[in-house]
Structure formats: C-alpha cells, structure tokens
Structure 1
Amino acid sequence: MPYQPIENYGVIGNMRTAALVGLDGSIDWLCLPRFDSPSVFGALLDDKKGGFFRIAPTAERVRHKQYYWPDTNVLVTRFLHPDGIAEVEDYMPVGVGTPVDEQLVRRVRVVRGRLPFALECRPAFDYARAQHDTHVNEHGARFDGPGLSLGLAASVPLRRDRDGVAGAFTLGEGESATFVLRTIDRDAAPGRCPGTGEAEERFRATVAYWQRWLGRCTYHGRWRETVHRSALALKLLTYEPTGAIVAAPTTSLPEGVGGHRNWDYRYCWLRDAAFTVYAFLRIGFADEAARFMDWLGARWKEHESHCGAPLQLMYAVDGRSDLTEYELPHLDGYMGSRPVRVGNGAHGQLQLDVYGELMDAVYLHNKYARPVSYDSWVSLRGLVDWVADNWDRPDEGVWETRGARKDHVYSRFMCWVALDRGLRLADKRSLPANRAKWLAARDAVYEQVMARGWSDTRKSFVQSYGADNLDAALLLMPLTFFMAPDDPRMLATVDAIRTPATKGGLAADGLVYRYDYKATHDGLEGSEGTFNMCSFWLVEALTRAGKTDPARLEEARLRFEQMLGYGSPLGLFGEQTGPSGEALGNFPQGFTHLALISAAFNLDRALGTR
C-alpha cells in the first residue's frame, strides 16, 4: 500500500521529537531536532517525495504485528513468515546517561528460522524541499542537508542508492543487526554502531527508564492498561526542555481524506492546560503537571497583546508566538489530501475560552500541588480583570472556525470559569483582587448564558446565540461546575447531543461529532469524522449525571468501553474517527488521551467497588 492507514502507526520519541513507525517497518514521519522542525522523513504526507527509513523482510506472504514492550514506549514490529519470525525494535534512547545528540535506534532480530531483509533510508530534508549530499563508508552513511547532518551507523554494509542508501542482509535464529540514526556535526563520521552487547544494554536502559517512569502512576482502577498507554503517549508529547506538551507530533493528517481540513498540531495550546494538569495530577504525575505550569507561567507573565487580548491561544514549545501558516504545494498530502500546512493561522484568532482553561489549571494546581506565588498572582489578576472587561465579545470559538466571529456559548461559560476560579483563588488564599468587579461580571455571564444560550426550540443549549446548532463542547458545562450534572437543562442538552446525527443530534453509535459542520458555516470545505475527545466528554457527562440516575452510569460505562474499541491496535487515538472506523486527523492526539484519562478516572470512581 502506498499509504498505511493512520491507525497502523506506532509512535516513539525522546521528549524532544517523535517518529511514526508503520506496520510495514517504515519510519514515515520524523522531524529533527524537535517536534516543529522540518521533517527529514515525511512519506506520511507524500509517499514518493517525503522520505522514509524502511527495514523489512523481502520474503512474500509476511504477516505483521506491532506492540509496545510492556509499560514502555519501545515499539516492536513483528514479521511472521513460514520460514521464520523476525522483530524490529524501535526506540529513541532517553534517561540518565543518554547521549546529547538525537538518536533513533533500530535493532533487527530473528527469533526463529532464517529471513532475508532489505533496508532503505531516503531522507528528504526540509519537508522534501532541500537537496542533500550522501556519503557512504564502511561504518554507515552520512547525509548532509541544509543546517542538519544525519549519520546512519550500521552493523551491515550499506551502498549508495540515488540520494539514499540501501542494504540487503540475511539473519538466522538468534542473530541481530543494529542501526543508529543520529544528528551529527557536518563532515563528521556517521558514528560507531554499538556491538551486540552494547545494543542490548542500551535497549534495557531505555526499557528501564519507561518502566520506572510509569511506576509512579497511582491509577489502579479499571482499564488500567489503557490509562497507562495514554499516560505514556502524553509523556512522549512532552517537550522536556520547557515542559510544554504538543497537541500531536504531526501536521496535516486530514480530518477527512481528500479534504482541506488539514492542520499543523505540533504546538502547545493553552486550552489543553486544565485538562493536562487535571489528568497528570489525578494519576500521580505531579512533576509533569508542575513543569507544564512553569511553561504556562512564562506565557502569562509575558502579557503581550495578541488580537487585542493579553494571550494568544497557542505557542511553540519554546514559547515562540509567531506561528505563521503557509502551505507546501509540492507535497501531495496523505492519500492526496491537500494542502499540507506548516504553522497554524488560528494562533491569531480571538478565543476567549482559553482564559477559563488557564485559570482552572492554576486553581487545580494550587489546590492539589503547589500554591500560586504572589508574583504569578499579580499577572493572573490582570488576566482576570481583562476577562471581566471583555467577556461579551464575539470570537472564533473553541473549534477555531474560519468564518465570522460569533457569540459562542462555550466561550461565554468558560469566561465564567475564569472569573469563578479567580474568585475562588482570591478567597481561598486571601489574595488581593477586585472581587466586586469579578463577581458582578461572573453573575452577568451566567445570566446571559442562561437567557441567550438556551434554545426553547431545541430544548438544549446551543452553539452560539440565536442559532439552533448543537455543540459537543457544551458537555463541559458540568465538568467545569458551571451547571449541575443533573440540572434539567443539562440533562436535556446531553440527551440532544447523544441523539443520532441522522435525527438532529451529534451521535453516531458511541461516537460524537463536535458540531454539525454542514449547518454551522465554519468557513471550511470538506467533511470530517466524529471527534474522539467529545465522545469521552459525553461519557464523563453521563457519569456525573449517573450519581442520581444509575441508568446513565451504566450507559456511560457502555459508551466508554465501546469507544475504546476505536483506538488503534496499540491503544493510540487520533483526533477523529472516520465513517469506516478509521483514524483521522493528527496522530496520536494528546487532547483525546487527556479526555480518556479523565473519563476513566471519574467513571471508575463512580462505579466504585461493584
């Protein structure tokens, strides 16, 4: 197949960048040296020009399997053939003693029989826009691109093949071959390939790092393995030097194959803040929550003006604010899904909800981890003052539509969250604040949402004032304590959303669309799938309503376990699920895994020990 299904990929990384490894043994996506750097392997977005690094048996009738080494991010691709069984172990070394250069290790082993293999390594620097020089010697190969050089150390001979290298080798039972791809200085040697013993030590050290990290997890409830995999995926999406977490390690994987809804998710959204802090704290990773809060703190202390607001909704992992969006017309896109985009134009939008998510994160971290400092409070107080003065402005909304600004209900009630958490913090810590102003604004927001955000026609809260469209983001009303989970209006909204889309709702079996994209006029062409995190939001809304209605709790469990079946064989989730159950959108998506952890934690707690 020229393109693997998105769900056929596993992800490995070193908390600076990540690689996607296909079921066929091909690395089809890797950006170096960090998540938002230009790609060196990009066959995921153009199977002919993008570049790849493939190792696989040459025999026919090979079957494939992939799994993670237990409790780690070390990926194993297994090849099954009548003549033998082979495995490719892929990982990026991490932990104490790891070399400072970026490394990717691929070890090929035959565990039974004897099999021939082929290797192809064809980098395509700078999103396949730049030429590079290839040099081969007895130790491997070197690729010199603009501003970046890669060394491929190999334990078997390689030969030059056009602008890449190739190799052929045969391994018998118990034999192995190792390949190390690393960043190197220009004109340097590709580096020494580790011997068999050293390769085993490096493998064991990486396994030990991940198992030691996961051992800190305090979650021991139902679906433990699934929650653990989500935690490991989120850790991979962390940029260790700053503590930021990217939404996904990829760009431009389509929300609908052949469509135009293709975006760059290799940045950190403020919107993820509360969900990230909540998820990490709930399952015992206080250090990760603290590091992310440090990154957030650097953003709110900057107080630059973006679109007339003190903060923009997303930043690069190093805090850079210029995320100018442009297209790469020379790339075909995944399965012909153009355009391929770099950067994200939504960074210049006004999205008022981010202040609610930010203040909720601060509140949670102050409550469960580390008290907010006075200096931080001075900056945060300024943000809440700004929300009190600006909450009534139309904006682009949580879904980053590219049509006209509207009075989005989600944005409004998240402004209420920002004001509410500011008041709670000020009262809990006796911090100085303009309480009267915040309280008046908070009450005004609430009254307005109840009066204008509710549709007597739909018998539900709606996406924006004056509209009758539903919005799955409204499921967060009880999760943020804006509404009681069993309030009649909230129950009616949940029921409207979980009604099948064919009957005017947003549901498709256990899946949920974020909104009716055909009726919303979001300024975008093409179709999209159901939104995975919205499906988990519905589970959590039903869970909370289940405290007074056991039938809703049972439905929450059914929907949650049904939803888990739409994950990849490795337990990874993309942004969306397509009409045939396929993964769509950037992969894996952190927001989905955050929602999964939250839903699992609260559902398990609600089910108790029954």
Structure 2
Amino acid sequence: MAGAGVVSATGTEPETGAGTEEAVRYLPIAEHGMIGDLRTAALVGTDGRIDWFCAPRFDSPSVFGALLDAEKGGCWRMDPLCKVASRQQFYFPDTNILVTRMLTDEGMVEVQDFMPVLRGHDPDHRQRLVRRVSAVRGRMGMRTAIAPRTNYGRDPHRLELRPDRAQFITDQLVITVHSGVPLTACGDDGADAGAEFHLEEGDSVLFVLETSEPGAGCPGEELTREAAEQLFRATVAFWRDWLGRSSYTGRWRETVHRSALTLKLLTHEPTGALVAAPTCALPEELGGSRNWDYRYVWIRDAAFSLYALLRLGFTEEAGAFVGWLARCLRQGAERGTGPLRVMYSIDGHADLPEEELDHWEGYCGSSPVRIGNRAADQLQLDVYGELVDSIYLFNKYGDGISWDTWSDLVGVVDWLLEHWDTADESIWETRAGRQRHTYSRVMCWVAVERMVRMARQRGLPADLARWMSVRDAIYRQVMEQGWHEQLGSFVQRLGSDGEPPAEILDASLLVMPMVKFLSPQDERFHSTLKAIRAGLVADSLVFRYNAKVSADGLDGTEGTFSICSFWWVEALTRTGQVEEARLALEKMFTFANHVGQYAEQIGVTGEQLGNFPQAFTHLALISAAVNLDRAMG
C-alpha cells in the first residue's frame, strides 16, 4: 500500500529532519492542528508542513492537498536544515493560533501559524495565512518550499518572482506569497518557490499567503515585523474575547473550551453555516473506500452544534445558524426528499454532485478520493427532529423565532405528518437502500412534539389535535415495532406485519433519553444500554452498529465512532452510573490528539480515522462533559 513511512508518535520526529533525508510521505491524521479565519481552514502538521488548505472557502478546491496525495497534492514545507530531535505543537493559550516547535542540536525554532481575524463580522476582512518563523535558541538554518497544486492538482500554474514575493498564477486563481527572504524557483519543473535562510537567536522571518482572482492585481504589500505583531495580538484578542463569553466553569474547562474553539473554527461567519469538517476523503479505514467529503453543512451536525454552543452561552452563533437555516427552509425544494435536504453547501445550495479524483492516490493509498457528496440526495427523516429540536432550544434560550420562521416550520411539519412512516437512509447514510429506521421514527416524534411545545409556550397558531394524534402514533410504533423482545433492546430497524425486527443494535438509540423520548430510568432503556454494552462497546469506545450484521452497501470496515462514545458517556450519566461515566469520559480524552482535537473515528490501535477535526465529535464532547458535571454536583 502507498504511504510507507507514516509516523505514529505524537510530537516526535519519525525518522530524520527533511533537511538531511527524505521526509515521511504521510503524517498520521492526528498529527495535525487546524487554523482558520471563519471562512476556511488549513491543517498544519507537526513537522511544519501545511498539507491541506482550500481557499477562499471551506468547500473551495484545494490549494495544498498533499494530505490526499503526497506527490501530486502540493504542500508548504518549513524544515530545519539539520536533523530534528523532537517536535512539539500547541495552541497559543485560549486561541486558534498554532505553534510548532522543532528542537535540534543547533537550537530551537518556532513556527507560528495563524489566519488573522480582527473582529467579528468584519466587512473588510482580508484573508491571509501568516507563517512567522523565529529562532528561539541557537543559530538555525531553515528551508522552505512552497508548492501549490490548485483545483485538486488539476490546474497548472506559472511562477512569477519578485524580490519580495512569489506569485503562482492559474486561469482561476492567483496565489501570492510575500516573503521576508528572497525566493527562488525550485521543483522538478521550476514552478515552485523556495529558499534557504539562517536565523540568529531572536530573529524571525515572515511569510504571508493570499489568494485573489486573476487580474485583481497584487493583494497587498509585504507585512513589516511591527504590522505582523499587531495582527498577531489582534487575533489573540479576538479569540480570547470570544472564549471569554463562555459560561462553562466545570471540571474539564480546558478540554471543553478547546472543543468550543474548534467548533467556532468550523463556522462560516458570513453565512452562519457550520461545516461538518474542513477535509474530504480521509479514510475510515486505511486503504479502504469509505472516504467522504465533509466540507458541507449537515442539518443534523449543525443542529447538535447549536445545542452545544447554547449550553456554553454562545447565543450569537446559534442565532446566526437559525438565520442560515431559515433561508434554506424558504427554498422549499422537495425533489422527492421533502422540504428539507440532508446537507447543504455553505451558501444553502443542495446540489452537491459526487466526483472521484482518479489522479490522486488518497491518504496512504486510500482511494477513491471523493469530492461532493451523493448523500445529499438521500431521504433522512431524522433531520426533521434535529432541526425542530434545535429551533425549539433557540426559541427557549435565545432570542426566539420570528413569525416567518414559524410559518416555514408549520409547512415542514405538515409534510412530515404525511411522510413520517416512510423508509429512509437515516443518520448513518447507508447505501444499501432505504429501511424503516427506529432512530428516524424517534426523531420524527421529536419534531412533532417540539412543535406542540413551541405552539403552547408561545401561543402560536397550530393544528394541535392533528399534531398530537400523529405524535402519539409515532410513539406507539416505536414501542411496538422497534423493540426486540428476545434481545431485550430497541434495535436499528422496525419490524412489520407482525414480524419481529432484526437483531441489529444501533448506538444512535443511546439518545432516546437525551431527546426526552424515554425516561433514563425506563426499564427498556436500561435493557437497551445493557445490550449495547455487550454488543457495541469496547472499553468505552463504541461502534455505531455491527457492519457484519447490518449490511450498509459499502465495502470494508470502520473504527469506533467518537460521537457514539460520548453518547455512551451521557447515557451512563443520565442513568445514574456517574462513576463509570466519568471513567469513560476520561478514557475518551486520551484519544484526542496533542492539541485536543478529534477525527470522526478511532481505529483498533487508537489511531484517528476519518475527516478531521469533526464537529459532530466535539459537540458530543461538550454535551457529555456539561451533563456529567451537573450530575456530579
């Protein structure tokens, strides 16, 4: 398999510094930290390379994509010229400014990476990626190599060099790198730019990357050291001021706040959208084909994120998302899947055609590399429950919803009342055809039940008799057809026509008491918890279902789902098993990477798998920690 030489230990040098021998081709997924400017994000490896960056938005084509093809994807390297003994990477406290330190026999060098954010909702925001390289101790020789490969490596570029900058020009994009040292042409075809330079202790060199459209001219002048320091301090102030609004003061404050900062980085501030992850096609199994594009807004993920942010007191973000959601609702395009789509682009479009990039080998040889997402055309009825529940919470804890939003919701629920008893693909987006999923029925009940609550709380006009009749019918169906008597558990799919359901456990049913469908002390939920413990839990890590029992239409296997592991913590908490919940939570914290971030899944040896970092995981961490804190007193 491609990808030999993958490092495995966080914060350590795998073999040798890039200045003396060939560097590793692929870092582990966990060996990255994220920076961003609330428009897009970049991943910075512990070896100083930027190997994933899309601009100007999260879902734009890549500028650097070596994370998905080490040879053809492009990256920006920053390496000492001598062997590196060790590396450390951390965030500047209470910010999203990433610091990578490299220790050598000759001294220590520090690379500060950040994308400046000066103020919230800045109409004059200027997108820049800043790299400040400083000699902390000793005299350091450094080498940088800037090798963009735009449009997923499909567009060629020409290089134009000036004394203070390099420009990489394509038909669609111009990338300008201002440099504090002269850059020269390098690379096999001379189309990349690089430099070798030396720093005395206390010296620093600045690099600033900007993108622009062809013909727009140079996007700015080189930053002076003083101006760069001002940008740094202003960005520090922005992040600390934002985090200072958090109401969380519990036991796991640093961990929870890092998750909150990660969720904020995944927010597209101009629209209020919140993407599931900044990456695409990172595999759920090394060498496998379960490689999806997560750079979009899943209604489900964003709704749960809204809940997490509300729990921490971030009502402004919640209001912005509700505004984005209201715009999506007004589109009203059914296309056979109802008035609400599973996912949308950042600006609210639902047309996300899936494409395979055959010219890229994929992370560690894990192909195909997919962009776009065919799941956008699926029917997932559970999203209606997650949508309405999030708006219910905002209506309760935020500024409240408008009459127009209520009218749109009534139209949505009217459609749901006619279609709730329909087979769908549900939360896990399987590709084996539609089934009658228990989780979808539970969330359909949530949608109708929360609409009843809002109507009563606000005195809003509603057909309460009809709503309550359907709500009760859904509830009875789940209790009668979603329960497996012999297994003693609720299961993934409903039975029908007197036939019992299949013995398929599903971790999504851990949320039943969280959404108030069942009391956490209900005997049926306790029995379900016991069955899930026996069938899906491996030392606090939880599989979403057993793929060998439940055919999902996909090849290969996958790791445990981190969101399910945090749901497990919360289920234990709500059923009074507080000590076990605390131990499970602490164990989950050990699977975070060195800067407290999580990918979608955890593999059999503890490696992080899937797109990184994933919003769904971090919002579940926040919810689990907040509720366990409350239970512990």
Bin for the TM-score computed over the shorter chain = over 0.9
- In 1, distance between residues paired with 2:615 and 2:94? 18
Of residues 178, 200, 204, the one that matches 1:172 is 200
Residue 62 of structure 1 and its aligned partner are, at CA, apart by 3.0
- In 1, distance between residues paired with 2:239 and 2:137? 28
Matched, 1:94 2:117: yes
59-68 or 480-489, larger mean C-alpha shift: 59-68
* Structure 1 SS opposite 2:422: coil
1:58 corresponds to: 81
Report the AA paired with residue 592 of structure 2.
Answer: G
363-372 or 15-24, larger mean C-alpha shift: 363-372
1:201-226: CA deviation from partner (whole Å, max 9, x where unpaired): 11111111111111111100011000
Matched, 1:235 2:227: no
Q: Is the 8 A contact 1:539 1:560 kept in 2?
A: yes
Matched, 1:506 2:568: no
Matched, 1:163 2:191: yes
Matched, 1:106 2:94: no
* Structure 2 SS opposite 1:588: coil
Of residues 325, 336, 345, the one that matches 2:354 is 325
Matched, 1:477 2:477: no
Q: Is the 8 A contact 2:118 2:231 kept in 1?
A: no
* Structure 1 SS opposite 2:548: helix
Residue 185 of structure 1 and its aligned partner are, at CA, apart by 4.7
- In 1, distance between residues paired with 2:320 and 2:447? 22
The 5 A counterparts of 1:200-219 are: 200-219=229-248
Q: Is the 8 A contact 1:43 1:52 kept in 2?
A: yes
Matched, 1:149 2:174: yes
Matched, 1:136 2:161: yes
Report the AA paired with residue 2 of structure 1.
Answer: R
Residue 588 of structure 1 and its aligned partner are, at CA, apart by 0.2
Q: Is the 8 A contact 1:150 1:190 kept in 2?
A: no
Change (3 A) 1:94 1:537: same
Of residues 202, 208, 223, the one that matches 1:194 is 223
2:487 corresponds to: 458
1:28-54: CA deviation from partner (whole Å, max 9, x where unpaired): 000011000000100000000000001
1:89-136: CA deviation from partner (whole Å, max 9, x where unpaired): 000011237964321000000111011000000000100011011111
TM-score (norm 2): 0.93
- In 1, distance between residues paired with 2:567 and 2:142? 46
Report the AA paired with residue 265 of structure 1.
Answer: Y
Of residues 336, 359, 372, the one that matches 2:388 is 359
- In 2, distance between residues paired with 1:395 and 1:186? 45
Q: Is the 8 A contact 1:151 1:191 kept in 2?
A: no
Of residues 546, 557, 572, the one that matches 1:527 is 557
Residue 308 of structure 1 and its aligned partner are, at CA, apart by 3.7
188-197 or 398-407, larger mean C-alpha shift: 188-197
1:315 corresponds to: 344
Report the AA paired with residue 200 of structure 2.
Answer: G
* Structure 1 SS opposite 2:587: helix
- In 1, distance between residues paired with 2:32 and 2:247? 28
1:40 corresponds to: 63
Of residues 58, 61, 82, the one that matches 2:105 is 82
- In 1, distance between residues paired with 2:163 and 2:124? 23
Report the AA paired with residue 111 of structure 1.
Answer: V
Report the AA paired with residue 5 of structure 1.
Answer: P
Change (3 A) 1:74 1:486: same
* Structure 2 SS opposite 1:309: coil
* Structure 1 SS opposite 2:26: coil
* Structure 2 SS opposite 1:110: strand
Residue 605 of structure 1 and its aligned partner are, at CA, apart by 0.6
2:253 corresponds to: 224
1:419 corresponds to: 448
- In 2, distance between residues paired with 1:293 and 1:189? 37
Residue 146 of structure 1 and its aligned partner are, at CA, apart by 2.5
- In 2, distance between residues paired with 1:579 and 1:480? 31
Report the AA paired with residue 591 of structure 1.
Answer: F
1:240-277: CA deviation from partner (whole Å, max 9, x where unpaired): 11000000000000000100100000000111243122
Report the AA paired with residue 181 of structure 1.
Answer: L
406-415 or 203-212, larger mean C-alpha shift: 203-212
1:320-353: CA deviation from partner (whole Å, max 9, x where unpaired): 1110111100000000000000100000000000
1:68 corresponds to: 91
2:498 corresponds to: none
The 5 A counterparts of 1:255-404 are: 255-404=284-433
Q: Is the 8 A contact 1:115 1:170 kept in 2?
A: yes
- In 1, distance between residues paired with 2:205 and 2:123? 21
Unmatched 5+ residue regions in structure 2?
1-23, 495-500
* Structure 2 SS opposite 1:118: strand
2:497 corresponds to: none
Matched, 1:518 2:548: yes
Q: Is the 8 A contact 1:253 1:586 kept in 2?
A: yes
Report the AA paired with residue 338 of structure 2.
Answer: A
- In 1, distance between residues paired with 2:508 and 2:361? 33
369-378 or 185-194, larger mean C-alpha shift: 185-194
* Structure 2 SS opposite 1:7: coil
* Structure 1 SS opposite 2:549: helix
Report the AA paired with residue 246 of structure 2.
Answer: C
How many equivalent pairs are there? Answer: 598
1:49-108: CA deviation from partner (whole Å, max 9, x where unpaired): 000001121211431110000000000000011211110000001123796432100000
- In 1, distance between residues paired with 2:611 and 2:161? 35
1:468 corresponds to: 503
Residue 25 of structure 1 and its aligned partner are, at CA, apart by 0.3
2:597 corresponds to: 572
* Structure 2 SS opposite 1:271: helix
* Structure 2 SS opposite 1:79: strand
TM-score (norm 1): 0.97
Residue 190 of structure 1 and its aligned partner are, at CA, apart by 6.7
Q: Is the 8 A contact 1:141 1:190 kept in 2?
A: no
- In 2, distance between residues paired with 1:146 and 1:126? 11
1:448-503: CA deviation from partner (whole Å, max 9, x where unpaired): 1111101012110000022111000000100000000110100111111122xxxx
* Structure 1 SS opposite 2:598: coil
- In 1, distance between residues paired with 2:321 and 2:123? 23
- In 2, distance between residues paired with 1:126 and 1:589? 23
- The structure 1 segments of at least 4 consecutive aligned residues displaced by more than 4 Å after TM superposition are none
1:443 corresponds to: 472
Unmatched 5+ residue regions in structure 1?
500-504, 547-551
Residue 389 of structure 1 and its aligned partner are, at CA, apart by 1.2
Report the AA paired with residue 227 of structure 1.
Answer: V
Report the AA paired with residue 527 of structure 1.
Answer: T
Residue 312 of structure 1 and its aligned partner are, at CA, apart by 0.7
